[in-house]
A and B are shown apart, each in its own frame.
Chain A
Amino acid sequence: MTLSLSPILEGLAPVTAATFQDPGYCDRCGEALRDGGHEACVAARVLEPPRFCPVCRRRMKVQVLPAGWVATCVEHGQTCSGR
């Protein structure tokens, strides 16, 4: 499965969903998911892009555009909002 890409990423190699399978970390607060207690993060994420890589918890570079967002982890590549 391939994640959808925003138009600004056309031409770039798409990342695969497999890259982000089995996330270990909350992509909003960066804390481990296994400990639970991320209900507030889930609610907040409706109006926020991710900030932490869910695989390695590195802070991602995030660009918010009027109609979407793009987040980049130096280790695990790019992901973006659905269109």
Chain B
Amino acid sequence: MPEILDHARRQVLETGRGLDEAGVLAVLSLPDGDVPAALQLAHEVRMRWCGPEVEVEGIVSVKTGGCPEDCHFCSQSGLFTSPVRAVWLDIPALVEAARQTAATGATEFCIVAAVRGPDERLMAQMREGVVAIRAAVEINIAASLGMLTQAQVDELAAIGVHRYNHNLETARSFFPQIVTTHTWEERWETLRMVRAAGMQVCCGGILGLGETLAQRAEFATQLATLEPHEVPLNFLNPRPGTPLGGRSIVDARDALRAIAAFRLALPKTILRYAGGREITLGDLGTRDGLLGGVNAVIVGNYLTTLGRPAVEDLALLDELRMPVKALSATL
């Protein structure tokens, strides 16, 4: 057993205190032969500090494309030659998307918009949409609308958005190479306001943007400092027309190392499989991650790409005897 895993067993498993940056980097640097042991320990940590339940979520884009920001991984930026066109989802379709999500047994429905931050049109859509969903579907509503003002934070909390997603995306030291139209610190400020307003903080990122292992470790510990309720873990799905469209996907072993490392940095956080897992890990890797620290999934499709059918993920959870978190347990 590598020394870092012995150390993690004593510290993370027994006390619930996450690994520091050097410890995370040591896990990310483990040889292939030690990955199964890292995943096993991460699974034990997840079971000890989070339990066996898995939180299931669906997401939908209420405003797709035409974003003024230049996040280099994103096909929805209006600054790149991506084939994704700008389109808005109307309220009946938004409610239908929430229904589709709830039908899977999911407890979370996240409304996402490709914007720098909400304008009045989007806030009006949110006001109307949240009321319409709450009237028709029993599900928790989350939102991801970019950077917020204090007034927008307060209004979203008041209308019943219980969790807000705003990803830091990558390590602070690497962020300027991925986004130039706003700063990591601006994102952090929105997250600070969200927490202060009483909403749950959802904050993760994307692996495989070109960051080093040291920057991956830096990112994990920066997230740990934030103490988010949830961390969605994406793996780059290189999109045509974006600056990162030619990058390779993350190696499956590296992805699994990262899952174990992020769990050992964030022992008590909801760690969610998000975009890119299908192409990075496939079916077997998805299983390995769920047995290696992941305790939440996005089911069904993503914002501009498609995911595994929800029934396949739910069947896998059933096979692994991991119960889906019930809505009553989240209220």
Contacts and interface: CB of A to CB of B under 8 A. Distances in A.
A37 interface: no
B152 interface: no
B101 interface: yes
A8 B91 CA distance: 10
A63 interface: yes
Given A52-B83, A63-B87, A8 B306 contact: no
Interface string A8-39: 10000000000000000000011000000000
Contacts of A52: 83
A47 B60 CA distance: 16
A46 B307 CA distance: 9
Contact of B301 (A7, A30, A59, A67): A67
Given A47-B305, A67-B310, A62 B85 contact: yes
B59 A47 contact: no
A60 to B, nearest CB: 7
A68 B75 CA distance: 19
Given A64-B304, A66-B299, A68-B301, A59 B60 contact: no
Interface stretch (B40-48, B92-100, B250-258): B92-100
B100 A65 contact: yes
B278 interface: yes
A52 B59 CA distance: 24
21 contacts: A8-B97, A29-B240, A47-B305, A47-B307, A48-B306, A49-B304, A62-B85, A63-B61, A63-B87, A64-B60, A64-B304, A64-B305, A64-B306, A65-B96, A65-B301, A66-B97, A66-B100, A66-B299, A66-B300, A67-B100, A67-B301
Interface of A: 7-8, 29-30, 46-49, 51-52, 59-69
Given A8-B92, A63-B93, A64-B303, 12 more contacts: A8-B93, A48-B304, A49-B306, A62-B304, A64-B302, A65-B301, A66-B60, A66-B100, A66-B299, A66-B301, A66-B310, A67-B100
Cβ-closest 5 pairs across A and B: A66-B300, A51-B83, A66-B58, A67-B100, A61-B87
